[in-house]
Structure 1
């Protein structure tokens, strides 16, 4: 059973999401709350697997709540956003959020997203991914580049990070490297551990931030640079 907390200051939004999720036999919405402080308390008291957090809430906003929940509990956090009005994507992902979802997503996409995140994967809406990459590029242009972080990785782990950064699943990485999925999982775990990353989303950030992947370049060029 996947235990879920829904946090949104708009009652109709959070009750609507909760109703959709409760309709799934393997989901249990353990709390519906209207602000970040209540979301943090619910994460501590109810041990949910996934917390859906609205970015903008009164009192403690979603970003501050995400930092607390990711640092203090094992719950996975997914941010709910209208995106075009939000400037928190980069900070929230660094805080440990496992992804962003736009509030106008379809019912099936919401259900799928919760299952994906609960399984330990990461999720981003395509427009948010574009924004994330743009933010990383701006950070690099400002001189915030740390390629030396990659020195801790073996050649195969660097290949794995490159493919993670390109959004490939474990099965796709296994096919590309001609290894088993079990081996890929081992490489992914090692990459996350050596670089001090919480999940695959942060691995994507690291791939761009360190220059392992250059937006707009061909895969062969990036691989050669690795």
Structure 2
């Protein structure tokens, strides 16, 4: 089974350099253009049979473009939402640094900070989704290709996919509407490509 993993298009918070997380900002005009180009590219090269999306509007709007282009049904999935960043949501980077400076030594995986989701809880949420997805969709062999549309949450899914430790410094770079393709074959897991942005070439 192939899993197409996609980050949403540019959002208003991206443009304003704000902490986004659970702040539900819409796509910008550029974000809509990116999503349309993405949808056309996915339809031509890697059309999914089913799409799962975060319920936050920047991801859902991106996913709907793909769904409309490919006729694949769209299923909203709260577990694919971005990290719950508590009181940081919607603040500019500068405001956040002033109001909620990081504790000495930084944030530890078991610490809460500004009412945020614990790092360990964030990973557990990704593991819960991945386990359910694996047992309900991968193992039964119901689909050849499924798409997941999410956020920086993609990094947690990536760590789950590769069975990396909870605390690690391995990150998956992903741009706006960046596309990643993973493949599962019984116990084998393969990364086919990462952060494809070919569809945005026409934007210059």
TM-score, length basis structure 1: 0.27
* More contact order relative to length (CA 8 Å, sep ≥ 6): 2
Name which one, 1 or 2, has greater alpha-carbon Rg. 1
Q: Which has the higher helix share?
A: 1
TM-score, length basis structure 2: 0.30
